[in-house]
Homo-oligomer: A and B are copies of this chain.
Amino acid sequence: MQSSFRFINALKRQPVDSTPVWFMRQAGRYLPEYRAIRERVGGFLGMCKNPEIACEITLQPLQRFDLDAAIIFSDILTIPDAMGLGLHFKANEGPHFERPIRDKAAVERLAIPDMESDLGYVMQAIRLVSHECRHRVPLIGFCGSPWTVATYMVEGQSSRHFSVIKSMMYDEPETLSALLSKITQASCLYLQAQIANGAQAVMIFDTWGGILSPQSYQRFSLSYMQEIVHYLKSRAQTVEIPIILFTKQGGQWLENIAATGCDAIGIDWTVDMAKARQRVGHQVALQGNLDPAVLYAEPKQIEANVKTVLTEYGSGSGHIFNLGHGIYPDVSPDNVKAMIEAVRRYSPAFHSKGNEHGSL
């Protein structure tokens, strides 16, 4: 089986020859060849906005490793940047917005960006990558969840206690809802355009949904992700494209996430993969969930932990091997190689004939 089918087939829970593998932030800081480009080009946002550079960075991990998917090198904050909030990245401090959103008037002033002009650099990068790897592996497009994007837009930067957006959530929920609706509208068009330009699967990163209570998560994060899922699933050009939802620390809410109609759920390493499959494996594929810190260990331990994840999921399709969160910047690429090789070595046994449709 060609690798280009393995990832998509697993997302659709159709038979595969082995478990597909890719990992979050696979194009990034842990790679010396990425750091070399960054040294040369400068700022992070500048690299995202240069389609040739973004394409080159996207392809770097594929040249080094035997991976089953590419993910476009970009950032979850391209939408608010295109909305004119004045995004810049300070070294070692993360994102800053010059003009954060603090009231209803500011929300009302926000315009939905045009996907081909304001965000054309993302589309061009996707076209370049698609051209390069269409016959090799599928390309994943992505956006942040509306809630996660809103946390940065309202706080203006990374936050520890999320005091500004949570004050808005508790005191002025209508203002927050209006903001989330605008981001949702933009995200629908954004993913639709990424698909039109060549993305063959899409993922929504909900980095901060896990800081909410169950009720707030449902109302302020999941319901907007669900809107995006419904938008894409109700259009002929996008209905076949698999959608992966990933809420970090969302292990308590897998049933709710599966009920959105997404194709797969990304799960972090605090979730028991076997129990997760019992809970939602009849509805969705599961992506994950090796502790990224396992990559600090010796190759022998990495191999053992990969086997544990594969064994927990068990036989049959519907599993995409991944880390439970983005790779840490200080791990060795050799250890990444050991992880991927272990998936290649041990996963075919879980897809032998007779096991193809899974046995729980």
Contacts of A210 in B (CB 8 A): 270
Output the residue of A167, A249, A294, A296 with the most chain B CB within 10 A. Answer: A296
Task: Indicate if A120 sits at the interface (CB-CB under 8 A).
Answer: no
Q: Are A270 and B162 in contact (CB under 8 A)?
A: no
CB-contacts of A289-304 with B (<8 A): 291-294, 296-298, 301
Contacts of A166 in B (CB 8 A): 291, 293-294, 296-297
How many A residues face the partner with a CB closer than 8 A? 34
Residue of B nearest to A329 (CB): B161
Do A213 and B270 form a contact, CB below 8 Å, given A170-B294, A293-B166? yes
Do A163 and B272 form a contact, CB below 8 Å, given A170-B297, A213-B291, A249-B249? no
Task: Indicate if A330 sits at the interface (CB-CB under 8 A).
Answer: yes
Q: How far is the CA of A167 from the CA of B252 in the complex (A)?
A: 27
Shortest CB distance A217–B (Å): 8
Contacts of A272 in B (CB 8 A): 214, 252
Contacts of A296 in B (CB 8 A): 163, 166-167, 170
Task: Indicate if A251 sits at the interface (CB-CB under 8 A).
Answer: yes
Task: Indicate if A269 sits at the interface (CB-CB under 8 A).
Answer: yes
Task: Indicate if A177 sits at the interface (CB-CB under 8 A).
Answer: no
Task: Indicate if A45 sits at the interface (CB-CB under 8 A).
Answer: no
Pick the residue among B171, B212, B217, B269 that contacts A213 (CB under 8 A).
B269
